[in-house]
Structure 1
């Protein structure tokens, strides 16, 4: 655990080959050679989550206090945070003696590229997006599929009552998952895999009933599979939910897609 390509704050060095795997795309897990070193105490896990979000950068003690207690810290908050960091140092000691460094009035969690599943997901998602932009739908579908395989559930799924910063980051990461999924499906649509996508897209529109892109993709997959009725039903469901819940009409793009289906 040391320097990473993601916001490394100028750190360098490394430990050489080290089978460290830290997962946040689902329940948090910290693995070394398959041994589970994940902290079990909820507040210690939350402390680790904040440090992971700022890996290889200094996290001020004040930031940790704000995130853990949201403006209402206990009297001994500084000492309590120091205790959580001590517990993490004891836990992460097998990874590296300096896994967490004290820097001034803050702490740095040192990670290397490849040790955090979020970084790997982001790296591969970017690679898949570039492949799709370059017209290589086959590569994009494969790479984006592999990126999505890192997910084991919602990001930071077992963090109880995350603070405002962590909550915002969880929402951002979850959005990036949906975007990667959109791109993977788009790649497969370009490869002509319309019929095989119908079941997945029907489920996605049920889970995300206000998500226009999934509805658009379902409509395209349906009418290109010879099922215009399914495409029109998808449009109607989305429109009803948008009007009922948000007082909005579908986008012009979706309305044009509906007209294309109607004109078949």
Structure 2
């Protein structure tokens, strides 16, 4: 039996948003409805314990809200209350004057778990505990099962913007995780990740630089320089710009043999 926001419930709900949207009760997957209703749930989860206004929900669920938007929202909310075992306001989805508020305990949602480990990694990094930072960042990344809106093709601009924001946050944690591994000398542990991420996100020069540094530190100088040439070809051909100062600096230090250790 769990207590959520002062309300006793015999359910153990888990909300999984960082990947295909899922709601589980004691491990059993619950049916949470069609695409629009699932989009409403995703929008409520991203505003967990805060008011999700009707305007926000409309922009999250529809590209162009229908005339029946408010009635449709009430229908979706009522259905979600039934799925979550919430017979009325005050248990899970609370009606507010200008919208709705979904009550979620910290341990019930993967977004909160990701944030816990991300913040823990940041704190460890600031205190110089690189090993703990690496472990925390890896725990944060392990929460992700895919893209935030995987399986939700019918969403509005507000949810798409949220998905972009969380993907950026995931990539930032990935950068920190790789950096910690490089500082620890665990170069072989990051090569597969870096080869994949530079192919998927070739505009992020930080990943190219990390790959170059890891290769150089592993005694693979020629591959490190070829990696720079690949990055430069892409940036020049796609954007018409040269690599930034940081990436050029790494290349120059490799050429000069002055790139010392794993830090830059």
Q: TM-score, normalised on structure 2? A: 0.89
Counterpart selection for 2:138 from 124, 141, 145: 145
Counterpart selection for 1:232 from 225, 228, 233: 225
Tell me which residue corresponds to 1:155.
148
> Structure 1 residues 233 and 2 mapped into 2: Cα distance closer, same or farther (>3 Å)?
farther
Tell me which residue corresponds to 1:78.
70
* CA apart distance, 1:81: 1.1
Alignment size in residue pairs: 255
* CA apart distance, 1:198: 2.3
Tell me which residue corresponds to 1:93.
85
Residue 124 of structure 1 contacts residue 143 of structure 1 at CA under 8 Å; is this kept in 2?
A: yes
Tell me which residue corresponds to 2:56.
63
Distance 2:195 2:123 in 1: 27
Distance 2:87 2:191 in 1: 44
Counterpart selection for 2:251 from 241, 248, 258: 258
Q: Residue by residue, what CA displacement relative to the aligned partner does 1:1-27 show, whole Å, maximum 9, x if unpaired?
A: 987xxxxxxxx5354896321111100
Unaligned runs of 5+ in 2: 258-264
Q: TM-score, normalised on structure 1? A: 0.89
Counterpart selection for 2:43 from 26, 39, 50: 50
Counterpart selection for 1:21 from 10, 14, 31: 14
> Structure 1 residues 88 and 174 mapped into 2: Cα distance closer, same or farther (>3 Å)?
same
Counterpart selection for 2:129 from 105, 115, 136: 136
Residue 7 of structure 2 contacts residue 91 of structure 2 at CA under 8 Å; is this kept in 1?
A: no
Unaligned runs of 5+ in 1: 4-11
Distance 2:123 2:156 in 1: 34
3-state SS of the aligned residue for 1:114?
helix
Distance 1:165 1:95 in 2: 28
Residue 194 of structure 1 contacts residue 221 of structure 1 at CA under 8 Å; is this kept in 2?
A: yes
